[in-house]
Amino acid sequence: MDKYVRNVVAYSDRIILLQLSARPMNINILQIYAPTADKAEAEALEFYEQIREILHSLKPEDINVVLGDFNSIVGSGSVEGVTGAFGLGDRNERGEMLVQFCLEEDLVIKKTFYKLHPRKLYLEALRQPGVQENLKIELDKLCQENDPSQEITANNIWSKLKRNTIAATETVIGRQKKVKSKPWMTDEILTLMADRRIVKNQQDKYNEINRSIKRKILEAKEKWIQEKCEEAERLHQLHDSFNFHRKIKEITGENKRNTLTSIKNRQGTTILDIKELNDTWKNYAEALFWDQCTHNPANNFGNMEGPKILESEVRYSIDCLKNGKSPGHVDIYAEVLKQTDIKQLTYLFNVIYDSGQIPQDWLSPRLSPSQRKQIPKTAETIDS
């Protein structure tokens, strides 16, 4: 790598330049960290002026890349030649400054040209300037609201913590949009589904919305199929056989991979009975967690009391959580959990430790089959 590095220049504590030898053109990489929103505007203007001077000193035929954190929001609006259609949020003053700078220097903000996964796009909001601070303030405010009539149990403490965390996230970042699982799905149907969940205890209202959803689904499916058939006919008229057959498979669903497989018993027969299937998974779980220890370890200890769980231990465990992962059925992302008051979490864990009671929410596992080979599983395979 050393033979490709031509030069490294640290212009300031916010800008460093790396120059690389490459073919057919050399590459110049500017790594930057822009002043945050709480800094004076004059400091931000000076920062951009420094970048401008560096870019003008470089050869125009080289490839120039500016990387780093600009601490700005360019927004979802598209600016021709500068931003794409996949920005995030509303443009702020620093975002306007960045867009103007790119226009003047003929630069492109590449990140806005690529569509992110909805979960990543949602979590990207946490990295925007001031969002984490606002989230922490909202969480602290909600956690201070106490209900003296509520019994102090692990289940109640966790339910309140979960409710407050989700509420604070929706207040600061907004509700995460549901991903369209079907190509024909519309925003109107998703909205109706959300309304149906709200009135699930009101039978008449629930049935009314449910009938409306079924009607909208039929209309959406018919419209989607009609549009795809028209596209297939157009491709057929153009004698584009490759894309024509791809379109046919898309309509019929033949290009979809099967994600579920059957399970066979020891006689080689596919298990169809629900009770037999449950018993097979029960035996698998028992074999998986079977312990050869025949004595009860609890009988070997006189006093089971130990030291309290420390805030530093909880903080270390929370910090070790990986970002960008699915929140699961709890619906709390690791990025959000890291902003939660550590005292609340420590208190919860100590209540669990002292009482031996685990929140019911934690005892509801979700089994999601994820099989790489599309072959039927046998009871022997599962047991092994």
Other Cβ atoms closer than 10 A to 9: 11
Contact 72, 98 (CB under 8 A): yes
Which residue blocks in 118-273 are alpha helix, DSSP H? 118-124, 131-143, 154-172, 187-198, 203-237, 241-252
Residue 27 has pLDDT above 90, yes or no: yes
Structural domains of the chain in order of their starting residue, each with its CATH number: 2-119 (3.60.10.10), 178-256 (no CATH), 263-292+304-383 (no CATH)
What radius of gyration do the chain's Cα atoms show?
A: 28
Of the listed ranges 26-40, 46-60, 90-104, 111-125, the least confidently predicted one is 111-125
| pLDDT at res. 20 | 93
pLDDT confidence tier of residue 301, bands split at 50, 70 and 90: very low
Rounded CA separation 288/282 (Å): 10
Q: Report the pLDDT averaged over residues 276-305.
A: 69
Residue 123 has pLDDT above 80, yes or no: no
Give the CA count within 13 Å in the CB-facing half-sphere of 76.
8
Pairing of β 5-10 and β 15-20: antiparallel
| pLDDT at res. 148 | 57
Instruction: Go through the chain and tell me how many residues it has.
Output: 384
Residue 300 has pLDDT above 70, yes or no: no
Reduced to 3 DSSP states, what percent helix, strand and coil does the chain have, rounded to the nearest 5?
50, 10, 40
| pLDDT at res. 375 | 45
| pLDDT at res. 154 | 87
**Cα–Cα nearest to 153, from 352, 374, 364, 363:** 352
Rounded CA separation 21/31 (Å): 17
Q: DSSP class of residue 46?
A: H
Residue 369 has pLDDT above 60, yes or no: no
Which uninterrupted H or E stretch holds 7? strand 5-10
Residue 16 has pLDDT above 90, yes or no: yes
Give 304-353 pLDDT, tens digit per residue: 577 899 999 999 999 998 877 777 777 788 888 888 888 889 999 999 88
| pLDDT at res. 378 | 59
Contact 15, 32 (CB under 8 A): yes
Residue 63 or 176, more confident: 63
| pLDDT at res. 215 | 92
Q: Report the pLDDT averaged over residues 220-238.
A: 90
Give 65-103 pLDDT, tens digit per residue: 999 988 888 887 788 888 888 877 678 888 889 999 999
| pLDDT at res. 137 | 81
Those residues whose C-beta lies under 8 Å from the C-beta of residue 337, and which sit 6 or more positions away, are 165, 318, 321
Residue 145 has pLDDT above 80, yes or no: no
Q: Report the pLDDT averaged over residues 262-286.
A: 81
Backbone angles phi, psi at 105, to 5 degrees: -100, 10
Give 146-178 pLDDT, tens digit per residue: 665 567 888 888 888 888 888 888 777 766 555
| pLDDT at res. 373 | 47
Which residue blocks in the chain are alpha helix, DSSP H? 41-57, 93-105, 118-124, 131-143, 154-172, 187-198, 203-237, 241-252, 274-288, 311-319, 334-337, 342-355, 379-383
pLDDT confidence tier of residue 299, bands split at 50, 70 and 90: very low
| pLDDT at res. 30 | 93
Of these ranges, 46-50, 79-83, 167-171, 253-257, the one predicted with the greatest mean pLDDT is 46-50
Confidence (pTM): 0.48
| pLDDT at res. 302 | 47
